[in-house]
Amino acid sequence: MPLPDPNIESVKSRLERAQLAGHIYQHNQHLLVLQEPWAEDGTILNNFVQHELSADQIGLQFGLRLSGNQCDFLIGVTHSNQDRCYEIGAGNLKADQKAFNLLYAFYNYPKAFYLVSLPLSANSAQLTDAIETQLFSQPSLDFLNTAIKTNPMGQQVNWMKTFIVQQALEMKIRIQTCLY
């Protein structure tokens, strides 16, 4: 579905009026990133999730890439842990990845950065599939498969994956709502 007004300034203005984030960063003429995203109730969005056994952390950021009158939803994902053998510096990000701040929490610095991209008009099944193929299939993120909790109905739930998909889906819907 094409954007009603594909002008980046107009898109940025609509995102700001919808109060989706503390700041909308314009990286260039085609890329916007939500810095300090807010939840629907105006509180700061929890954009970190940590595995309770391995201390691996995932940080999420959201953005938009405009191309003509089409728009892609972007999910910037940082992975950090306590292994100090390799840490990403801001200078190591390439191309559009540079628009995303390297998120970190506590004492962990990012070890990897992943960028998931899909059309903003994608439905929830397509979003889940894009995250599964572009992110969850990464061998370095295998720890996500061990983050399992039992829900109140007694079912085993892969809670970290569920958290990532749910946060991405909610933000994508909120962005769509303010733009269309």
The whole-number pLDDT of residue 159 equals: 95
The whole-number pLDDT of residue 105 equals: 52
CA distance 152 to 75: 30
Pair of tokens at residue 55 = 């201390």
Tens of pLDDT along 70-81? 899 999 999 888
Q: Which residues of the chain have pLDDT under 50?
A: 106
The whole-number pLDDT of residue 104 equals: 57
CA distance 172 to 118: 10
The whole-number pLDDT of residue 117 equals: 96
Pair of tokens at residue 144 = 């996500």
The whole-number pLDDT of residue 54 equals: 84
Inter-residue contact 111 to 79 (CB < 8 Å): yes
